[in-house]
């Protein structure tokens, strides 16, 4: 895999490698969009495992329907070690754009699946029902759950992370409205009506807020973590990880056996950070 300035989750890196292996295994010199879809279905972790169980898709049939692509009409990509079709280039660009649109810093399998489906490059391989299943399970935020029964606080950064003060209401709301959504702003506003808002904030060296996390405030749901957000310029610095575990420690101290992480976008982050798992769709 060639290096680029785009960050991929580990699961995405595995998918990209597996897509190359699929092309090599079929003795094809050019990687096609369907190889990316097959690689997603081969991945049994996270929501992709759930998708593989729920869709009716024979990989042997998929491969049989695949057509060889002319080497002359292919191109190079920084993300692959073999040549790819122009459709693959387009899919990767759109997946990256989804990542940026959602204000995230890692391209994940959800971005890739959405790009594959919205560009219609794999339509001939999918039934309408399978398409709906992939869209609903693989391209939207999902609720997750983590067990707190034997919770042990990991080594985390406590410097400049603390509980919010009542007099920081305006400062925090402004930060959230600038960087995130009005829905989150509304949730935080309501939390400040509590005597002790269960909200942590992360500060930079200048005392400015660069992140926040809360629990037990969304629609007054107990055992419910979130929302949490870190300014884009301060991500991949461990701030989100530290904020998460400050909250989980409090929730564990309260006596909660589990924590629900609602509408988790970066699923792989929570899988690694606190062993959370996606709650299966009914």
Average pLDDT (60-74) is 69
The CATH-assigned architecture of domain 146-278 is 3-Layer(aba) Sandwich (3.40)
Q: Give me the CATH code for the 10-140 domain, please.
A: 1.10.1780.10
pLDDT tens string 148-194:
998 999 988 778 899 999 999 999 999 999 999 999 999 999 999 99
pLDDT tens string 231-245:
988 887 899 999 999
Pair 82, 2: CB distance under 8 Å: no
**pLDDT of amino acid 281:** 84
Q: What pairs with residue 215 in β-bridges?
A: 225
The DSSP-derived string for 117-160 is HHTTTTGGG--HHHHHHHHHHHSS-EEEEEE-TT--------TT
Domain residues of the chain, as ranges?
Answer: 10-140, 146-278
Angle at 9 between CA 109 and CA 79, to 5 degrees: 80
Residues in the chain: 282
Asked if pLDDT for residue 2 goes beyond 70, the answer is no
């Amino acid at each position: 895999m060639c290096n680029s300035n785009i960050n991929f989750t580990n699961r995405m890196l595995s998918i990209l490698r597996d897509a190359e292996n699929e092309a090599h295994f079929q003795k094809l010199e050019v990687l096609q969009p369907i190889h990316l879809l097959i690689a997603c279905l081969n991945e049994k972790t996270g929501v992709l495992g759930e998708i593989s169980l729920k869709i009716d898709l024979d990989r042997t049939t998929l491969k049989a329907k695949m057509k060889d692509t002319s080497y002359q009409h292919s191109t190079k990509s920084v993300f692959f070690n073999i040549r790819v079709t122009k459709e693959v280039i387009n899919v990767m660009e759109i997946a990256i754009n989804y990542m940026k649109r959602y204000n995230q810093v890692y391209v994940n399998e959800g971005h890739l699946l959405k790009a594959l489906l919205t560009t219609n490059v794999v339509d001939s391989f999918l039934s309408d029902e399978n398409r709906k299943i992939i869209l609903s399970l693989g391209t939207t935020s999902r609720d997750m759950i983590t067990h707190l029964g034997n919770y042990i606080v990991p080594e985390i950064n406590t410097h400049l992370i603390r509980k919010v003060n009542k007099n920081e209401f305006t400062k925090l709301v402004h930060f959230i409205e600038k960087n995130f959504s009005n829905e989150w702003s509304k949730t935080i506003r309501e939390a400040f009506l509590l005597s002790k808002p269960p909200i942590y904030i992360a500060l930079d060296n200048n005392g400015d807020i660069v992140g926040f996390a809360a629990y037990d405030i969304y629609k007054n749901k107990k055992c419910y973590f979130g929302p949490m957000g870190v300014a884009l310029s301060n991500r991949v610095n461990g701030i989100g990880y530290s904020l998460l575990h400050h909250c989980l420690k409090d929730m564990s101290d309260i006596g909660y056996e589990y924590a629900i992480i609602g509408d988790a976008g970066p699923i792989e982050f929570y899988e690694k950070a606190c062993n959370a798992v996606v709650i299966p769709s009914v």
